[in-house]
Chains A and B, each alone.
Chain A
Amino acid sequence: MSGREFFLDHSRCIGCQACVQACGECDTHRGASMIHLETIERLDSVQTAPQVCMHCEDPICAQVCPADAIKKTPDGVVQSSLKPRCIACSNCVVACPFGVPKYMAEFEQMMKCDMCYDRSSVGKKPMCATVCPSGALTYTTMEDIQRTRRGIPVNSWRFGEEEVKTKVFVMVPRAVEQVHVDLIQIAPTPAALPVDPYDVALMLEV
């Protein structure tokens, strides 16, 4: 892999959608874009955040796959489901803590970011990192990222009780050693929830 790693810097995203377009041109899944470009707090902000597959060291999507369809290559890249095996059950879609796998109804198969394996396996940058104008998606060496950025790269996550190590790094402030994503609500859903001010559907009604 030529010593280069994938770095994700959500704060740099300008929401230009270049990565979304480039992703759809990747030869491993031509015509279907696998990257997620999330809108954060739409009511107050135009901030967006890209989400590629983080390529977990112990991929939960593959662990929960009942059809043995998701495989990890020796260089740590978790691939899309194998077409002959995938039964389109969406277990992986539900299980992924990053919400990465997509159930593609037209192919009856789960597909996800595979770090443009045709490119990154021969030392080229993934499509999204090639086009990102602001460096939110970067594919470079660890030395280079430490020299050019203020934050530090972290690939350790904590979801409630679950620790997850990923191949892809995320840029965080220097004080942070591990990204904590705590569950906001684990109790049963109360009958009357407070109205979510960021619910897009509600915004459209107003």
Chain B
Amino acid sequence: MSAEIEDNTQCKDCSGTPRYRQDFPIDWEGDHYVSRREMVKFLTLGSVLLTVANWVTVFARGLIRKDSSAVQRLGPVSDLARQGSMLFRYPTAQDPCIAVRTPRGNLVAYSQVCTHLSCAVVYDKSTDQLVCPCHRGVFSVDQGAPIAGPPTRPLAKVRIEQRGDHIFATGMEV
């Protein structure tokens, strides 16, 4: 019985040293060798993981774009009176957006979430600007760019188009 156990634990090439001892050596230098080996293993696997994670990020981003470019009917053109605005949710029910018909007749739409502290922006007809009521942030209606107040980043733009009598959102501009 003891001979059998010995056979199981001995390796063929290392003359009487149990196999597990190679990974858990008693001598100091052997232990340091294992530590170095573990370090190299960690670095290699870590690099592979980072590479894979980069590719996954690229791939996942493609997926998100795909989702956000779903076409959604927002309503008839008549709902959006000239110089008026219309609220809608796009691409999900948790993303409030605002569509605006500018005085020049352009049809634009932006995420309603202010890039400062996420209050909802509204369209101010008199100045033709998107205004955030919380901290007086102002965005241009043509580009969604911040022109006054605390916000520093532009509003996320929604691609919008008119097909016949209806307005459709066709995607987010990233």
Contacts and interface: CB of A to CB of B under 8 A. Distances in A.
Interface of A: 59, 62-63, 68, 70-74, 79
Interface in B20-36: 24, 26-29, 31
Contacts of A74: 27-29
B25 to A, nearest CB: 8
Nearest to B27: A72
Contacts of A73: 27-28
15 contacts: A59-B26, A62-B26, A68-B24, A68-B31, A71-B26, A71-B27, A71-B28, A71-B31, A72-B26, A72-B27, A72-B28, A73-B27, A73-B28, A74-B27, A74-B28
Interface of B: 24, 26-29, 31
A62 B24 CA distance: 10
Contacts, number: 19
A68 B21 CA distance: 10
Contacts of B29: 74
Q: Considering the complex of A and B, which 7 residue pairs feature the smallest CB-CB distances, nearest first?
A: A62-B26, A68-B24, A73-B28, A71-B28, A72-B27, A72-B26, A71-B31
Contacts of A63: 26
A70 B27 CA distance: 9
B15 to A, nearest CB: 14
Contacts of B27: 71-74
Contacts of A62: 26
A73 B29 CA distance: 7
Contacts of A70: 26
Nearest to A63: B26
Nearest to A70: B26
Nearest to B32: A71
A70 B28 CA distance: 9
A191 to B, nearest CB: 31
Nearest to A73: B28
A79 B32 CA distance: 14
A71 to B, nearest CB: 5
A79 B24 CA distance: 15
Given A68-B24, A72-B27, A74-B27, 5 more contacts: A62-B26, A71-B27, A71-B31, A72-B26, A74-B29
